[in-house]
Amino acid sequence: MSKKPLFQRIALIGFGLIGSSLARVVRRDGLAGHVCGCARTDKTLAKARELGLADSFTTDPAKAAEGADLVVLSTPHGVYRAIAEAIAPHLKPGAIVTDVGSVKRAAIRDVAPHLPAGVHFVPAHPIAGTEHSGPEAGFEQLFADRWCILTPPPGTDEGAIERVAELWRRAGMTIEMMDAGHHDAVMAITSHLPHLIAYTIVGTATDLEEHLKSEVIKFSAAGFRDFTRIAASDPVMWRDVFLNNREAVLEMLGRFSEDLTRLQRAIRWGEGDVLLDLFTRTRAIRRGVIDAKQA
Protein backbone atom coordinates (compact mmCIF):
# COMPACT_ATOMS: atom_id res chain seq x y z
CA MET A 1 0.00 0.00 0.00
CA SER A 2 1.24 3.48 -0.91
CA LYS A 3 1.90 5.91 1.94
CA LYS A 4 1.44 9.05 -0.20
CA PRO A 5 -1.44 11.14 1.22
CA LEU A 6 -4.40 11.46 -1.13
CA PHE A 7 -5.70 14.49 0.79
CA GLN A 8 -4.16 17.16 2.98
CA ARG A 9 -7.06 17.37 5.41
CA ILE A 10 -10.01 15.01 5.68
CA ALA A 11 -13.04 15.88 7.80
CA LEU A 12 -14.97 12.80 8.88
CA ILE A 13 -18.38 14.08 9.97
CA GLY A 14 -20.05 11.16 11.71
CA PHE A 15 -17.66 8.88 13.53
CA GLY A 16 -19.59 5.65 13.98
CA LEU A 17 -19.20 2.26 12.31
CA ILE A 18 -18.58 3.63 8.81
CA GLY A 19 -16.75 6.88 9.66
CA SER A 20 -14.39 5.21 12.13
CA SER A 21 -13.71 2.27 9.80
CA LEU A 22 -12.70 4.75 7.10
CA ALA A 23 -10.57 6.60 9.67
CA ARG A 24 -8.76 3.34 10.41
CA VAL A 25 -8.01 2.85 6.70
CA VAL A 26 -6.84 6.47 6.34
CA ARG A 27 -4.56 6.02 9.37
CA ARG A 28 -3.23 2.64 8.25
CA ASP A 29 -2.25 3.88 4.78
CA GLY A 30 -1.41 7.50 5.62
CA LEU A 31 -4.03 8.78 3.18
CA ALA A 32 -4.38 12.21 4.81
CA GLY A 33 -2.03 14.81 6.26
CA HIS A 34 -4.61 15.59 8.94
CA VAL A 35 -7.84 13.85 9.96
CA CYS A 36 -10.52 15.77 11.85
CA GLY A 37 -13.17 13.62 13.52
CA CYS A 38 -16.63 15.06 14.14
CA ALA A 39 -19.54 13.50 16.02
CA ARG A 40 -22.67 14.80 17.72
CA THR A 41 -21.59 13.98 21.27
CA ASP A 42 -18.44 14.37 23.35
CA LYS A 43 -18.85 10.75 24.46
CA THR A 44 -18.29 9.47 20.91
CA LEU A 45 -15.36 11.83 20.39
CA ALA A 46 -13.77 10.71 23.65
CA LYS A 47 -13.93 7.11 22.43
CA ALA A 48 -12.49 8.11 19.03
CA ARG A 49 -9.67 9.99 20.77
CA GLU A 50 -8.94 7.00 23.01
CA LEU A 51 -8.70 4.81 19.89
CA GLY A 52 -6.35 7.36 18.28
CA LEU A 53 -8.44 7.58 15.14
CA ALA A 54 -8.02 11.28 14.26
CA ASP A 55 -5.67 14.22 14.80
CA SER A 56 -8.33 16.66 15.98
CA PHE A 57 -11.88 16.35 17.23
CA THR A 58 -14.96 18.57 17.30
CA THR A 59 -18.72 18.41 17.68
CA ASP A 60 -19.05 21.31 15.23
CA PRO A 61 -19.30 20.18 11.57
CA ALA A 62 -18.46 23.71 10.36
CA LYS A 63 -15.16 23.67 12.27
CA ALA A 64 -14.37 20.19 10.98
CA ALA A 65 -14.96 21.22 7.36
CA GLU A 66 -12.83 24.37 7.56
CA GLY A 67 -9.78 23.98 5.32
CA ALA A 68 -10.60 20.38 4.43
CA ASP A 69 -10.01 19.19 0.89
CA LEU A 70 -12.28 16.19 1.57
CA VAL A 71 -15.39 16.13 3.75
CA VAL A 72 -17.07 12.75 4.31
CA LEU A 73 -20.61 12.66 5.70
CA SER A 74 -21.11 9.43 7.69
CA THR A 75 -24.11 10.42 9.78
CA PRO A 76 -27.71 9.22 9.60
CA HIS A 77 -29.45 10.73 6.57
CA GLY A 78 -31.85 12.82 8.66
CA VAL A 79 -29.14 15.39 9.50
CA TYR A 80 -27.60 15.69 6.01
CA ARG A 81 -29.39 18.89 5.12
CA ALA A 82 -28.58 20.67 8.39
CA ILE A 83 -24.92 19.64 8.10
CA ALA A 84 -24.69 20.73 4.45
CA GLU A 85 -26.11 24.13 5.39
CA ALA A 86 -23.74 24.44 8.36
CA ILE A 87 -20.54 23.53 6.49
CA ALA A 88 -21.28 25.38 3.23
CA PRO A 89 -19.85 28.79 4.22
CA HIS A 90 -16.69 27.14 5.59
CA LEU A 91 -15.74 24.98 2.60
CA LYS A 92 -12.68 26.02 0.65
CA PRO A 93 -12.87 26.37 -3.14
CA GLY A 94 -12.21 23.05 -4.85
CA ALA A 95 -13.11 21.02 -1.76
CA ILE A 96 -14.79 17.66 -2.31
CA VAL A 97 -17.82 16.65 -0.26
CA THR A 98 -18.86 13.01 -0.31
CA ASP A 99 -21.12 10.79 1.78
CA VAL A 100 -21.58 7.11 2.56
CA GLY A 101 -25.37 7.03 2.85
CA SER A 102 -27.59 4.15 1.83
CA VAL A 103 -29.98 6.30 -0.25
CA LYS A 104 -28.56 8.39 -3.07
CA ARG A 105 -31.34 10.44 -4.72
CA ALA A 106 -32.22 11.97 -1.36
CA ALA A 107 -28.52 12.58 -0.62
CA ILE A 108 -28.22 14.66 -3.78
CA ARG A 109 -31.50 16.44 -2.97
CA ASP A 110 -30.44 17.31 0.59
CA VAL A 111 -26.76 18.17 0.10
CA ALA A 112 -26.03 19.47 -3.42
CA PRO A 113 -28.23 22.61 -3.43
CA HIS A 114 -26.51 23.97 -0.30
CA LEU A 115 -22.91 23.69 -1.48
CA PRO A 116 -21.20 26.75 -2.98
CA ALA A 117 -20.04 26.84 -6.59
CA GLY A 118 -16.56 25.34 -6.97
CA VAL A 119 -17.18 22.67 -4.32
CA HIS A 120 -17.69 19.18 -5.75
CA PHE A 121 -20.27 16.71 -4.39
CA VAL A 122 -19.57 13.04 -5.14
CA PRO A 123 -22.24 10.83 -3.53
CA ALA A 124 -20.96 7.37 -2.58
CA HIS A 125 -22.23 4.22 -0.91
CA PRO A 126 -19.77 1.63 0.36
CA ILE A 127 -21.76 -1.61 0.37
CA ALA A 128 -20.35 -2.91 3.63
CA GLY A 129 -21.64 -2.88 7.16
CA THR A 130 -22.64 -4.73 10.28
CA GLU A 131 -25.48 -4.38 12.77
CA HIS A 132 -23.14 -2.59 15.21
CA SER A 133 -22.75 1.17 15.72
CA GLY A 134 -20.21 3.59 17.14
CA PRO A 135 -16.43 4.10 16.77
CA GLU A 136 -15.54 0.96 18.72
CA ALA A 137 -17.56 -1.13 16.23
CA GLY A 138 -15.42 -0.06 13.27
CA PHE A 139 -12.57 -2.10 11.76
CA GLU A 140 -10.23 -1.48 8.86
CA GLN A 141 -11.17 -4.63 6.94
CA LEU A 142 -14.87 -3.68 6.80
CA PHE A 143 -14.62 -2.51 3.19
CA ALA A 144 -12.19 -5.13 1.87
CA ASP A 145 -13.39 -6.97 -1.24
CA ARG A 146 -16.76 -5.19 -1.27
CA TRP A 147 -18.37 -2.82 -3.78
CA CYS A 148 -18.55 0.93 -3.51
CA ILE A 149 -21.18 2.61 -5.67
CA LEU A 150 -20.64 6.21 -6.80
CA THR A 151 -23.64 8.15 -8.11
CA PRO A 152 -22.28 11.53 -9.27
CA PRO A 153 -24.92 13.67 -10.99
CA PRO A 154 -24.16 14.44 -14.67
CA GLY A 155 -21.55 17.18 -14.97
CA THR A 156 -19.71 16.33 -11.74
CA ASP A 157 -15.99 17.14 -11.94
CA GLU A 158 -14.16 14.02 -13.20
CA GLY A 159 -11.10 14.71 -11.08
CA ALA A 160 -13.21 14.83 -7.91
CA ILE A 161 -14.94 11.57 -8.83
CA GLU A 162 -11.58 9.91 -9.40
CA ARG A 163 -10.18 11.07 -6.05
CA VAL A 164 -13.19 9.71 -4.14
CA ALA A 165 -12.99 6.48 -6.15
CA GLU A 166 -9.29 6.16 -5.27
CA LEU A 167 -10.02 6.61 -1.55
CA TRP A 168 -12.42 3.65 -1.60
CA ARG A 169 -10.06 1.59 -3.77
CA ARG A 170 -7.38 2.07 -1.09
CA ALA A 171 -9.94 0.72 1.41
CA GLY A 172 -10.08 -2.44 -0.71
CA MET A 173 -13.31 -1.72 -2.57
CA THR A 174 -14.23 -2.10 -6.24
CA ILE A 175 -15.94 0.92 -7.76
CA GLU A 176 -19.20 0.84 -9.68
CA MET A 177 -20.76 3.97 -11.19
CA MET A 178 -24.52 4.23 -11.25
CA ASP A 179 -27.40 6.63 -11.64
CA ALA A 180 -28.75 7.56 -8.18
CA GLY A 181 -32.30 6.39 -8.97
CA HIS A 182 -31.02 3.03 -10.19
CA HIS A 183 -28.93 2.66 -7.04
CA ASP A 184 -31.99 3.31 -4.86
CA ALA A 185 -34.07 0.70 -6.71
CA VAL A 186 -31.31 -1.91 -6.43
CA MET A 187 -30.82 -1.21 -2.71
CA ALA A 188 -34.58 -1.30 -2.08
CA ILE A 189 -34.61 -5.00 -2.94
CA THR A 190 -31.11 -6.08 -1.85
CA SER A 191 -30.91 -4.19 1.44
CA HIS A 192 -33.94 -2.16 2.46
CA LEU A 193 -36.64 -4.80 1.97
CA PRO A 194 -34.64 -7.53 3.78
CA HIS A 195 -34.24 -5.17 6.75
CA LEU A 196 -37.97 -4.35 6.72
CA ILE A 197 -38.84 -8.05 6.67
CA ALA A 198 -36.42 -8.76 9.53
CA TYR A 199 -37.81 -5.90 11.62
CA THR A 200 -41.34 -7.23 10.93
CA ILE A 201 -40.64 -10.87 11.85
CA VAL A 202 -38.85 -9.94 15.03
CA GLY A 203 -41.66 -7.48 15.84
CA THR A 204 -44.28 -10.19 15.25
CA ALA A 205 -42.40 -12.53 17.59
CA THR A 206 -42.15 -9.81 20.22
CA ASP A 207 -45.92 -9.44 20.19
CA LEU A 208 -46.58 -13.16 20.77
CA GLU A 209 -48.13 -14.44 23.97
CA GLU A 210 -45.57 -14.86 26.78
CA HIS A 211 -45.39 -18.68 26.67
CA LEU A 212 -44.57 -18.64 22.94
CA LYS A 213 -42.15 -15.71 23.18
CA SER A 214 -39.74 -17.52 25.51
CA GLU A 215 -39.61 -20.48 23.14
CA VAL A 216 -38.75 -18.16 20.25
CA ILE A 217 -35.46 -17.20 21.90
CA LYS A 218 -34.71 -20.73 23.07
CA PHE A 219 -35.17 -22.28 19.63
CA SER A 220 -33.97 -19.30 17.60
CA ALA A 221 -31.25 -21.35 15.85
CA ALA A 222 -34.05 -22.77 13.70
CA GLY A 223 -33.83 -19.63 11.52
CA PHE A 224 -35.14 -16.76 13.64
CA ARG A 225 -31.71 -15.72 14.92
CA ASP A 226 -30.52 -14.70 11.44
CA PHE A 227 -33.37 -12.19 11.33
CA THR A 228 -32.57 -10.91 14.83
CA ARG A 229 -29.07 -9.98 13.67
CA ILE A 230 -30.42 -7.79 10.87
CA ALA A 231 -33.19 -6.41 13.09
CA ALA A 232 -30.55 -5.28 15.61
CA SER A 233 -29.34 -2.65 13.11
CA ASP A 234 -29.34 0.99 14.11
CA PRO A 235 -32.95 2.25 14.48
CA VAL A 236 -32.21 5.89 13.56
CA MET A 237 -30.26 4.98 10.43
CA TRP A 238 -33.00 2.64 9.24
CA ARG A 239 -35.84 5.02 9.98
CA ASP A 240 -34.04 7.53 7.75
CA VAL A 241 -33.43 4.97 5.00
CA PHE A 242 -37.15 4.15 4.72
CA LEU A 243 -38.28 7.76 4.91
CA ASN A 244 -35.82 8.76 2.18
CA ASN A 245 -36.24 5.82 -0.22
CA ARG A 246 -40.00 5.71 0.10
CA GLU A 247 -40.94 5.21 -3.59
CA ALA A 248 -38.48 2.44 -4.40
CA VAL A 249 -39.20 0.58 -1.15
CA LEU A 250 -42.97 0.79 -1.65
CA GLU A 251 -42.56 -0.54 -5.21
CA MET A 252 -40.52 -3.56 -4.03
CA LEU A 253 -42.81 -4.09 -1.04
CA GLY A 254 -45.80 -4.24 -3.40
CA ARG A 255 -44.12 -6.95 -5.48
CA PHE A 256 -43.08 -8.83 -2.36
CA SER A 257 -46.62 -8.74 -0.93
CA GLU A 258 -48.01 -10.19 -4.18
CA ASP A 259 -45.46 -13.02 -4.10
CA LEU A 260 -46.15 -13.67 -0.42
CA THR A 261 -49.87 -13.91 -1.10
CA ARG A 262 -49.14 -16.37 -3.90
CA LEU A 263 -47.16 -18.57 -1.48
CA GLN A 264 -49.91 -18.28 1.13
CA ARG A 265 -52.36 -19.55 -1.46
CA ALA A 266 -50.03 -22.39 -2.52
CA ILE A 267 -49.74 -23.54 1.11
CA ARG A 268 -53.51 -23.31 1.63
CA TRP A 269 -54.26 -25.36 -1.50
CA GLY A 270 -51.42 -27.84 -1.05
CA GLU A 271 -49.65 -26.76 -4.25
CA GLY A 272 -46.30 -28.39 -3.46
CA ASP A 273 -44.99 -27.88 -6.99
CA VAL A 274 -45.30 -24.07 -6.60
CA LEU A 275 -43.30 -24.18 -3.36
CA LEU A 276 -40.71 -26.59 -4.76
CA ASP A 277 -40.22 -24.51 -7.89
CA LEU A 278 -39.56 -21.30 -5.90
CA PHE A 279 -37.32 -22.93 -3.28
CA THR A 280 -35.23 -24.52 -6.06
CA ARG A 281 -34.79 -21.22 -7.91
CA THR A 282 -33.77 -19.37 -4.73
CA ARG A 283 -31.07 -21.96 -3.96
CA ALA A 284 -29.40 -21.03 -7.24
CA ILE A 285 -29.34 -17.36 -6.18
CA ARG A 286 -27.49 -18.33 -2.98
CA ARG A 287 -24.90 -20.19 -5.08
CA GLY A 288 -24.51 -17.03 -7.19
CA VAL A 289 -23.88 -14.91 -4.08
CA ILE A 290 -21.21 -17.35 -2.86
CA ASP A 291 -19.56 -17.49 -6.31
CA ALA A 292 -19.48 -13.65 -6.37
CA LYS A 293 -17.65 -13.78 -2.97
CA GLN A 294 -20.41 -11.72 -1.31
CA ALA A 295 -21.48 -14.42 1.19
**Which residues in this chain contact ligand NAP in the complex, by CB under 6 A?**
13-19, 38-41, 44, 61, 74-77, 79, 83, 100-102, 126, 129, 133-134, 234, 237
d(CA 236, CA 216): 26
Choose between 110 and 234: whose C-beta lies nearer to ligand NAP: 234
Choose between 40 and 271: whose C-beta lies nearer to ligand NAP: 40
**Cβ 136 to ligand NAP shortest distance, Å:** 10
**Cβ 198 to ligand NAP shortest distance, Å:** 13
Written as one letter, the residue type at 153 is: P
What's the start-to-end Cα distance of the chain, in Å? 26
- Nearest CA-CA partner of 148 in 119, 182, 178: 178
**Cβ 195 to ligand NAP shortest distance, Å:** 10
Choose between 102 and 156: whose C-beta lies nearer to ligand NAP: 102
* Planar angle of CA 169, 183, 149, nearest 5 degrees: 5
Choose between 60 and 158: whose C-beta lies nearer to ligand NAP: 60
C-beta of residue 13 within 8 angstroms of C-beta of residue 58 = no
- Nearest CA-CA partner of 150 in 163, 134, 137: 163
d(CA 259, CA 281): 14
**Cβ 227 to ligand NAP shortest distance, Å:** 16
**Cβ 269 to ligand NAP shortest distance, Å:** 40
Choose between 169 and 266: whose C-beta lies nearer to ligand NAP: 169
**Cβ 248 to ligand NAP shortest distance, Å:** 15
Q: What is the DSSP track for 184-247?
A: HHHHIIIIIHHHHHHHHHHHHHHTS-HHHHHHHHHTGGGTHHHHHHHTTS-HHHHHHHHHHSHH
CA 16 to centroid of chain Cα atoms: 11
Choose between 34 and 40: whose C-beta lies nearer to ligand NAP: 40
